[in-house]
Amino acid sequence: MKKALVVLIVMVCLAAGIWGIFMLRGSAGKAGGHVENDNGNTGVAADVTESGTTTEEQTADSQETTEVTEEEKPSLVDETLAGMTLHEKVCQMMFVTPEELTGEDGVTVAGDATRQALENYPVGGIVYFAKNLESQDQVKEMIDNSQKYSSIGLFVATDEEGGVVNRLMDTVGTTYIGSMYYYKDDGDETAYENAYTIANDMSALGFNLDFAPVADVWSNPDNTVIGERAYSDDYAQAAELVGNAVKGFNDGGVMCTLKHFPGHGDTAEDSHYSSAYVHRTKEEIMADEMQPFRSGIEAGAEFVMVGHLIVPDIDEVPATLSYKIATGILREELKFEGVAITDSFEMESIADNYSVDDAVVMSVKAGMDMILQPKDMASAVNSIEQAVADGELSEDRIDESVRRILTLKESRGLLK
């Protein structure tokens, strides 16, 4: 009995010794532990896994994998675009009045009608005119509610050039700025400050886009539609002033729009009421009319508004429907990467000569990104959708424009 007890005690002691040795070696092998190398030196040891790799190597591999995954993660624009239906994409290309959106007259409130309309037609932008503007508080509330109802943030715009074309100064009492033409000899700083003031007032009310500055040059004294709305009657001076105005608008908190491409200042006709012709050669236009547009684009203008101008030396159709002008010159020659928007499709130069369906499809084919004030929004949307279904337009072409729109919206915090 005593002999068996002794044997048992010896076995227990041996097991305890073996376990202690094992634990000691395991402790020395941990990261940061000290072990004796073959040469007798002591150093820091790294954990070695069954596969033969160290824990440091595995950690590095894990971090590298994480970094690659982050790089490959789709952008907010990609995610948004991928989740949109064709209908939603086409609606983003529409820039409409609140009346066209809701079917109501004289809209001054964004309520249930606006909410329901934006659910059915999630348009890309809303443009307001004097009849929509009653007081600063009313404008703020109307715009704020519209933004809340929209699944993708809206471009909210008006025409606030100063002087003869203003929507806010004469209605809700923002700072009055006179016609730009009368400041032309006051220099760059005045052009910047005037634009900054206009933009700052607009931004405070909730607007994020101004359909200004006018980049046309009053080169034809008989021109009545542009006239004193231009910054100058000299191409070089207009270019210098427009570039500084673009910086002023941006610093003041709103995006801006160069208009009316490729230049409405030499026309005798008013495109609001009839076809308007630019009787200049392409070479002359590129040398002269393009100066303010180039300057504005280089200064960072986010939008270019293309006018319903026929340039016989380039094309027989209005610029808004012309691939040679809207894509060939604006995109390819001037390298504009922002959003190209049409002038109003309610203007008689388009409305009297083309059906809504034909005009909107032709404009998208030409390279336009957004349609301003289609005469019948539902018909315009349907006609583009049908053109895609029929193979007349590709969905890739639609995606091209919507990507530009969403990219700009993301940069302004309008993607939710």
Separation of CA 395 from chain center: 19
Tell whether 45 is covered by a domain: no
CA pair distance 157, 180, nearest whole angstrom:
19
Residue 48 backbone phi and psi in degrees, to 5: -115, 125
Number of domains, the chain = 1
- pLDDT > 70? residue 259: yes
Q: Take residue 36 and report the two structure tokens written for it.
A: 């004796």
Tell whether 1 is covered by a domain: no
3-state secondary structure of 372: strand
Lowest mean pLDDT segment, chosen from 3-7, 220-224, 264-268, 323-327: 3-7
Give 375-406 pLDDT, tens digit per residue. 999 999 999 999 999 999 999 999 999 999 99
272 is catalytic: yes
Catalytic residue (one of 47, 272, 357, 399): 272
Domain coverage including residue 140: 97-411
Mean of the pLDDT values across residues 341-365?
A: 95
What is the pLDDT at residue 276? 87
DSSP 328-355: IIIIIIT---SEEEESPTTSHHHHTTS-
- pLDDT > 50? residue 45: no
Are the beta carbons of 381 and 90 closer than 8 angstroms?
yes
Burial class from Cβ neighbours inside 10 Å (0-12, 13-18, 19+) for residue 127 reads buried
343 is catalytic: yes
Are the beta carbons of 98 and 114 closer than 8 angstroms?
yes
DSSP 153: P
H or E element: which one contains 260?
strand 255-261
Give 189-241 pLDDT, tens digit per residue. 999 999 999 999 999 999 999 999 999 999 998 888 899 999 999 999 999 99
Tell whether 26 is covered by a domain: no
Most confident region among 17-31, 59-73, 140-154 by mean pLDDT = 140-154
Catalytic residue (one of 159, 210, 266, 343): 343
Give 370-381 pLDDT, tens digit per residue. 999 999 999 999
Are the beta carbons of 232 and 238 closer than 8 angstroms?
yes
Q: Return the CATH number at 309.
A: 3.20.20.300
Give 321-331 pLDDT, tens digit per residue. 999 999 999 99
Tell whether 18 is covered by a domain: no
CA pair distance 405, 396, nearest whole angstrom:
14
Cis peptide before 260 (omega within 30 of 0): yes
Tell whether 277 is covered by a domain: yes
Tell whether 8 is covered by a domain: no
Tell whether 219 is covered by a domain: yes
CB atoms within 10 A of CB 1: 5
Tell whether 58 is covered by a domain: no
CB atoms within 10 A of CB 378: 14
Residues 6 or more apart in contact with residue 195 via CB below 8 angstroms: 212, 213, 244, 245, 246, 247, 248, 249, 252, 256
Percent of the chain with pLDDT over 90: 76
Give 238-255 pLDDT, tens digit per residue. 999 999 999 999 999 999
Mean of the pLDDT values across residues 271-281?
A: 81
